[in-house]
């Protein structure tokens, strides 16, 4: 078996005139979590559909668990894949328990998993109520339970935390970490950037069907060269007089420092006796995301609106 | 569990849950019982009608109702799931297009078939008690068999509609047009040819044209088995044809299988 769970090589996909994906290369190893980001219509969902074998690539090589997902041989591997679509709306007239039982049957998953998963996503209290009475967050949790059915080795989650309250979001990320430690590969597609950083190994940023960035967060940080923001307290006057520091100042108690200078600047600051507080803000995922998208504005403008 | 059975079970349970099953059964039973006891009142007699009159009037009514019920039951089978997004999800499961289609067909087909058997069957038993079983049972057996086949063929036609459109409301409209075409417009067309064009079609040609309509086939089979005295209209000309009942039944079976195959073809080409 191939050690790469997912392998995409030079993948292109067009919908009529619209180039949905262009020259996508990706390798995803077992136990790796990839964050997939991009604006609406950037090709995130298309990429997931390609991996799931629902749409066929225009050109290039797609391989999941070592086989082309369009191939008949890929049938057996589908049991190992969990997918959460972007808009989940289940059979309204069925109860949560019945919906999950149905999907468990289709996936030949153990029936004992159904109550366990409902418990895990916190839906046990409503398992005998029809889905039409569920709130948005409850439907989302049911969708997650559905994706966790079987023992998935590959999870594709499209906007998994939409509609979830903070507690449920935290529990969701706990499940992600747990699945990852069991060796599952996960692709997380999300617009809600805060909170996702510590759970992903690598990030891919798509824009207009092209991959504009792919790598670990620290690699992306290095490429982006985004400055670190340092806030000080109690030494406003002294800062302006310090030749080493004055150049970085953007406000009387704000410093904007390149990543490489961060430690030197902090050392310098620590020597001030009057310093009462110090806040260091490294660039967030959201800022990195903005940086890479900003670089590709010309590309995105050429894209036709969907 | 084989995915086909999982899908079939779900569809069947859906049909029971939303009262389709019980209401179809009741409609069929009421129709059959009503016609077999009071059918002759309309013609001014008070005695119970003959068996052939009963079957003749049952066929003429069922030919309208059964296709309508089948289309109503199944028109949203795929487009409904597509709208709610579950079709996309199902296709990421280890379920092939064929399995999904067959599962739905078995589930929803059994709703119609069982309702036909129970609904018309109960009427046959009641009628059997008041007359004699020896003549009632064979006539009703053929009727129930063809009624089920008629229902199943329109299930397949409903799937074609459901798979070719992307909106539920459009599917409903198309289902209505399809129904109107097969139960009314087609026959009107035949009549027009018969009357309007002198020597336009031979009797044999007419029967052959009727093979293109499952609803006409259904009437043809049932009426051909009766005394022709109770039959009038276009069919009276047609029933004296040299097609045997079994070959007509095979034609009906073809009308069940071919829409399904066509639906499967559309399904495999469909982009979700």
**What is d(CA B224, CA B206) in angstroms, rounded to the nearest whole number?**
15
Share of chain A above pLDDT 90, in %: 21
The 10s digit of each residue's pLDDT in A154-202 is: 999 998 888 888 888 888 899 889 888 988 999 998 877 777 888 889 9
Strand order across the A254-257 sheet: A249-251, A254-257, A228-233, A277-281
Q: pLDDT value at position A298? A: 43
Q: Is A93 on the interface with B (CB under 8 A)?
A: yes
Tell me which of A96 and B131 has the higher pLDDT. A96
Instruction: Give the pLDDT band of residue B208 (cuts 50, 70, 90).
Output: confident
* Region B83-92 average pLDDT: 91
* Region A77-101 average pLDDT: 89
Q: pLDDT value at position B73? A: 94
* Best residue in A86, A106, A130, A136 for a mutation probing chain B (most B CBs within 10 Å): A106
**What is d(CA A80, CA B212) in angstroms, rounded to the nearest whole number?**
46
Is residue A151 within 8 A of residue A81, CB to CB? The reply is no
Of chain B residues 58-87, which have a CB less than 8 A from chain A? Answer: 84-86
Q: Is B18 on the interface with A (CB under 8 A)?
A: yes
* Best residue in A78, A105, A111, A130 for a mutation probing chain B (most B CBs within 10 Å): A105
Q: Do A106 and B94 touch (CB under 8 A)?
A: yes
- B165 has a pLDDT exceeding 90: yes
Q: pLDDT value at position B66? A: 95
- B175 has a pLDDT exceeding 90: yes
ipTM of the prediction: 0.86
Q: Do A54 and B89 touch (CB under 8 A)?
A: no
Q: Is A215 on the interface with B (CB under 8 A)?
A: no
Q: What is the 3-class SS of B52-119, one letter each residue?
A: HHHHHHHHHHHHHHHHHHHHHHHCCCCHHHHHHCHHHHHHCCCCCHHHHHHHHHHHHHHHHHHHHHHH
Residue in B17, B86, B96 closest to A93 by CB: B17
* Region B219-244 average pLDDT: 67
Could you tell me which residues come within 8 angstroms of residue A64 by beta carbon, excluding any fewer than 6 positions away? Answer: A5, A6, A7, A51, A53, A74, A77, A81, A154
B95 contacts in chain A (CB < 8 Å): 106
Q: Do A93 and B93 touch (CB under 8 A)?
A: no
* Region A58-81 average pLDDT: 86
Q: pLDDT value at position A300? A: 41
User: Per the confidence metrics, is the pTM higher than 0.90?
Assistant: no
Q: Among B81, B111, B74, which residue's Cα sits nearest to residue B97?
A: B81
Question: CB contacts < 8 Å between A and B, how many?
Answer: 53
Q: pLDDT value at position A129? A: 93
Q: Which residues of B138-148 are buried (b: 16+ CB within 10 A; e: fewer)?
A: ebbebbbbbbb
Q: Tell me if residue A255 falls in helix, strand or coil.
A: strand
Instruction: Give the pLDDT band of residue B75 (cuts 50, 70, 90).
Output: very high
- B151 has a pLDDT exceeding 90: yes
Tell me which of B61 and B235 has the higher pLDDT. B61
Q: pLDDT value at position B51? A: 79
- B159 has a pLDDT exceeding 90: yes
Residue in B6, B84, B94 closest to A75 by CB: B94
Q: pLDDT value at position B100? A: 95
Residue in A83, A93, A108 closest to B92 by CB: A83
Q: Do B85 and A87 touch (CB under 8 A)?
A: yes
Tell me which of A50 and A236 has the higher pLDDT. A50
In whole angstroms, how far apart are CA B100 and each of B105, B106, B159?
Answer: 9, 10, 12
Instruction: Give the pLDDT band of residue A131 (cuts 50, 70, 90).
Output: very high
Q: How high is the mean pLDDT of chain B?
A: 87
Instruction: Give the pLDDT band of residue B174 (cuts 50, 70, 90).
Output: very high
Separation in Å, CA of A129 to nearest CA in chain B: 14
Q: pLDDT value at position B120? A: 92
Instruction: Give the pLDDT band of residue A306 (cuts 50, 70, 90).
Output: very low
* Region B255-263 average pLDDT: 96
The 10s digit of each residue's pLDDT in A235-252 is: 777 777 777 777 787 777
Instruction: State the helix-helix crossing angle for B168-180 and B51-74, rounded to 10 degrees.
Output: 160
**What is d(CA B232, CA A16) in angstroms, rounded to the nearest whole number?**
55
Q: pLDDT value at position B186? A: 93
Q: How high is the mean pLDDT of chain A?
A: 85
Instruction: State the helix-helix crossing angle for B133-164 and B245-269, rounded to 10 degrees.
Output: 20
Q: Do B93 and A106 touch (CB under 8 A)?
A: yes
Strand order across the A59-64 sheet: A59-64, A4-15, A18-29, A210-216, A202-207, A33-38, A185-189, A154-158, A81-84
Tell me which of A43 and A100 has the higher pLDDT. A100
B89 contacts in chain A (CB < 8 Å): 83, 85, 88, 146
**What is d(CA B88, CA A212) in angstroms, rounded to the nearest whole number?**
28
**What is d(CA B186, CA B210) in angstroms, rounded to the nearest whole number?**
9
Share of chain B above pLDDT 90, in %: 55
Q: Is B14 on the interface with A (CB under 8 A)?
A: yes
Chain A residue with CA closest to B95: the answer is: A106
């Amino acid at each position: 078996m191939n050690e790469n769970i997912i392998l995409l090589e030079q993948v292109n996909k067009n919908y009529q005139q619209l180039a949905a994906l262009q020259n996508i290369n990706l390798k995803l190893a077992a136990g790796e979590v990839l964050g997939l980001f991009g604006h609406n219509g950037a090709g995130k969902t298309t990429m997931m559909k390609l991996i799931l074998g629902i749409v066929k690539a225009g050109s290039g090589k797609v391989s999941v668990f070592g086989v082309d997902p369009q191939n008949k041989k890929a049938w057996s591997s589908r049991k190992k894949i969990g997918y959460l679509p972007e808009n989940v709306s289940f059979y309204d007239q069925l109860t949560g328990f019945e919906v999950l039982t149905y999907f468990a049957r289709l996936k030949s998953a153990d029936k004992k998993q159904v109550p366990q998963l409902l418990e895990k996503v916190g839906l046990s209290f409503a398992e005998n109520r029809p889905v039409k009475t569920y709130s948005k967050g409850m439907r989302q949790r049911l969708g997650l339970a559905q994706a966790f059915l079987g023992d998935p080795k590959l999870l594709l989650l499209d906007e998994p935390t939409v509609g979830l309250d903070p507690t449920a979001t935290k529990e969701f990320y706990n499940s992600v970490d747990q699945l990852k430690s069991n060796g599952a590969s996960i692709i997380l597609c999300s617009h809600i950037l805060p909170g996702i950083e510590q759970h992903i190994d690598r990030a891919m940023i798509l824009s207009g069907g092209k991959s504009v960035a792919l790598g670990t967060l620290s690699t992306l940080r290095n490429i982006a060269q985004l400055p670190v923001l340092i806030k000080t307290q109690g030494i406003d006057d002294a800062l302006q007089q310090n030749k080493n520091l004055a150049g970085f100042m953007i406000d009387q108690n704000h410093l904007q420092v390149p990543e490489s200078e961060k430690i030197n600047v902090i050392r310098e600051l620590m020597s001030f006796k009057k310093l009462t507080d110090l806040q260091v803000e490294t660039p967030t995922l959201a800022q990195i995301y903005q940086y890479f998208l900003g670089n590709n504005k010309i590309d995105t403008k050429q894209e036709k609106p969907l | 569990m084989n995915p086909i059975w999982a899908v079939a079970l779900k569809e069947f349970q859906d049909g029971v849950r939303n009262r389709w099953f019980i209401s179809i059964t009741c409609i069929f039973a009421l129709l059959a019982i009503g016609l077999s006891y009071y059918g002759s009142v309309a013609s001014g007699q008070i005695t119970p009608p003959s068996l052939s009159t009963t079957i003749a009037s049952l066929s003429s009514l069922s030919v309208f109702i059964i296709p309508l019920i089948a289309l109503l039951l199944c028109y949203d089978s795929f487009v409904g799931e597509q709208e709610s997004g579950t079709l996309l999800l199902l296709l990421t499961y280890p379920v092939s297009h064929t399995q999904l289609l067959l599962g739905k067909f078995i589930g929803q087909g059994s709703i119609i078939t069982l309702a036909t058997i129970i609904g018309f069957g109960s009427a046959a038993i009641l009628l059997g008690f008041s007359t004699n079983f020896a003549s009632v049972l064979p006539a009703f057996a053929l009727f129930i068999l063809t009624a089920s086949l008629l229902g199943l063929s329109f299930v397949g036609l409903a799937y074609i509609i459901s798979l070719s459109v992307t909106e539920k409301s459009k599917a409903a409209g198309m289902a209505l047009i399809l129904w109107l075409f097969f139960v009314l417009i087609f026959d009107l067309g035949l009549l027009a040819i018969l009357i309007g064009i002198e020597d336009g079609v031979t009797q044999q040609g007419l029967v052959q044209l009727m093979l293109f309509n499952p609803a006409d086939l259904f009437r043809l089979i049932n009426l051909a088995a009766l005394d022709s005295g109770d039959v009038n209209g276009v069919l009276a000309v047609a029933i004296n044809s040299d097609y045997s009942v079994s070959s007509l039944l095979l034609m009906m079976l073809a009308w069940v299988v071919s829409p399904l195959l066509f639906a499967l073809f559309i399904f495999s080409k469909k982009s979700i």
